[in-house]
Amino acid sequence: MGDLMNKKGIGNLDDPSMPYDYSTREYGTVPPDTKREPFRWVSEVAYKNVHRIVTRGYDTTELMEEGYGVTDVLFIDFQARIPMIEEDKMLNYIMILGLEDGISMPAQIARSVAQSKTFLTQACGASILAFGHAYGAYSAFGNRLDTYLAKSEEAGTSIEEAAATLVAELAEDEPESLGASNLMLKDPAAERLISRAEDLGVAGKYIAFQKEIVKAAQKQSDTPLAIDMLGAMGATMMDLGFSPEATWAILACTRAFAAGAHFIEEVERESYVGLGQVLTPKENYDGPEDCPVPSLDERAANAKPAQTHSPQEWRDAFDDRKKLYGTGYSIDEEIEDPSEKTGIKTVGK
């Protein structure tokens, strides 16, 4: 420490105008502050010691030994309660419907990542991130239901009026997140999910509101619409007591099981693709024709500036850029940052 204290000559640290002698400043950490509780992670979700794992007060080993299942523990983990039998059956129904979707885009992505000889968890993560419409839209969807129901209760209006207002304000901007679309016109899964909730006696205000949203959307649309899986799953999960964010987490992780199966099958049935192995023939290319690369001396004769100097010149340049796919200029509407579409207004307490 003596040598460190006498060390001189680093930059301007020996300048006499310095308000302190830098070389005599202490090394190491300051003494612990005994007047306040030290920082530590505190959670009301769960704890673990050498004997047990406990979630919301329930020993997980005892839950399993007693015969409770995964769906029961999801209620315990996210809602701190043991569910009714009917609620447990409903969540099991939803998770089975949400687990597998065939060779859909998320499954294709899991398989594509698998071909690059990577880890299964990376493939599942990539698959979930491709869950569609800004990560499934369950958070945005559910928070929107809460927002419009709250406005309806405050104004003393009916849910039919609230649904009509919601559709009028959002049908053009975000039709994919209304929970009503043309996706399920032939597939009865969404309708049957709602019927199952009603048969089990777990349908509540969210399913009732979503039904009115579908009716309002059908009146406004020129093409046939029906409740889709976003509307059916999202509303039912909220009637089961799950928050929009919990719904988001549960269904995304449920889909990861199927992504893992697709990863494993891809690895078992197909060979890995080495870096640089995939060739792309010119027949699949429709960009500018091959041309010689000019020398740096010829650069000035071939270079084109990006700047424009009149409104018409800017318009012409913009139109030309829209013809170049892959530049972003032909995208009419960007997908908003999913983190801004969740509907969460504040984080924490």
Q: What pLDDT, in 10s, does the model give residues 69-102?
A: 999 999 999 999 999 999 999 999 999 998 988 8
Identify whether the C-beta of residue 203 lies closer than 8 Å to the C-beta of residue 211.
Answer: no
- Predicted pLDDT at 348: 45
- Burial class of residue 174 (count of CB atoms within 10 Å of its CB; 0-12, 13-18, 19+): middle
Q: Which of 213, 208, 207, 236 is nearest to 226 (CA)?
A: 213
- Predicted pLDDT at 349: 41
The band of 149, judged by pLDDT with boundaries at 50, 70 and 90, is very high
- Predicted pLDDT at 347: 44
- Predicted pLDDT at 126: 84
The band of 18, judged by pLDDT with boundaries at 50, 70 and 90, is confident
Cα 230 from Cα 179, distance rounded (Å): 5
Residues 6+ apart with CB under 8 A from 324: 287, 330
User: What's the average model confidence in pLDDT over 205-223?
Assistant: 94
The answer to which of 82-96, 191-205, 211-225 has the lowest mean pLDDT is: 211-225
Q: What is the dihedral of CA 77, 133, 341, 112, to 10 degrees?
A: 70
Q: Which amino acid, one-letter code, is at 28?
A: G
The answer to which of 152-166, 243-257, 277-291, 323-337 has the lowest mean pLDDT is: 323-337
Task: Write out the two tokens for 87.
Answer: 């609620």
Please determine, for residue 192, whether its predicted confidence score (pLDDT) is greater than 50: yes
Residues 6+ apart with CB under 8 A from 161: 152
The count of residues in the chain is 349
User: What's the average model confidence in pLDDT over 23-40?
Assistant: 82
Cα 159 from Cα 72, distance rounded (Å): 31
Please determine, for residue 324, whether its predicted confidence score (pLDDT) is greater than 80: yes
Q: Which of 214, 197, 210, 218 is nearest to 97 (CA)?
A: 197
SS3 79: helix
Residues 6+ apart with CB under 8 A from 145: 206, 209, 210, 234, 235, 238
- Domain boundaries, given as residue ranges, for the chain: 84-273
Please determine, for residue 304, whether its predicted confidence score (pLDDT) is greater than 80: yes
- Predicted pLDDT at 198: 98
SS3 219: helix
Cα 230 from Cα 138, distance rounded (Å): 7
Rounded percentage of the chain residues whose pLDDT exceeds 90: 45
Average of per-residue pLDDT values in the chain: 86
Task: Tell me the per-residue pLDDT of 257-303, one tens digit each, with 9 for 90 and over.
Answer: 988 898 899 889 888 777 777 788 888 888 888 999 999 999 988 89
CB atoms within 10 A of CB 79: 16
